[in-house]
Amino acid sequence: MTDESHDRSTAEDIAFALRVRQGDHDAFRALYERYGNAVLGLAQSVVHDRSAAEDITHDVFLGFWRNPYAFEPSRGLFVAWILRVTRNRSIDILRKRRDLSFGNTRTTQEGETIDPTQWLADPDPGPEAEAVTHTLANDVRAALRTLSDDHRQLLELAYFG
């Protein structure tokens, strides 16, 4: 993906997310089509269970539809946010599967062993997410400086207003 297409994709994600806040089904569908497979893949890699991963994907997107303000564009990329929500939800599912005694393992329908204690929730963004966010913020600031005052003000009002 080129820098230009990455920037366009990021701007589209923000625009779609803001439209979802207004109840726009098409914007929600666009985000689901763009990231649904990534969410499903991440969930499945964590829980090792296709059915549970599908449920997690449903829960993550339904949660976003019900509370679109949970995504705050100023804190980072939509894709980073949705994947973090997916990871956290997947870890929650693993914890629910855990027996009452600490450290018991469970097995999936496929017979794979799961040790939920190996997954620790990290509420803070990792260094890679912070680096991407920092780089993107610099790129956005640089792009805004190339716009006329009227265009920049229009974007700022649309985004922050």
User: How many other C-beta atoms are found inside a 10 Å radius of the C-beta of residue 85?
Assistant: 19
Asked if the structure places residue 158 within a domain, the reply is: no
Q: How many folded domains does the chain comprise?
A: 1
Walk along the chain (161 residues) in steps of 10 and give the mean pLDDT of each run.
Answer: 65 94 96 95 90 94 94 90 93 73 54 54 59 73 81 73 56
Distance CA 117, CA 81 (A): 23
Distance CA 99, CA 160 (A): 46
Ramachandran bin of 70, using left for φ above 0, alpha for ψ from -120 to 50, beta for the remaining angles: alpha
What's the pTM value of the predicted model, to 2 decimals? 0.60
Amino acid 100: pLDDT: 34
Asked if the structure places residue 159 within a domain, the reply is: no
Asked if the structure places residue 18 within a domain, the reply is: yes
- Residue 88: which domain range? 3-123
Asked if the structure places residue 160 within a domain, the reply is: no
Asked if the structure places residue 150 within a domain, the reply is: no
Asked if the structure places residue 156 within a domain, the reply is: no
- CATH number for the domain that contains residue 48: 1.10.1740.10
Amino acid 120: pLDDT: 47
The model's pLDDT over 121-138, given as tens digits with 9 standing for 90+, comes to 455 566 666 676 777 777
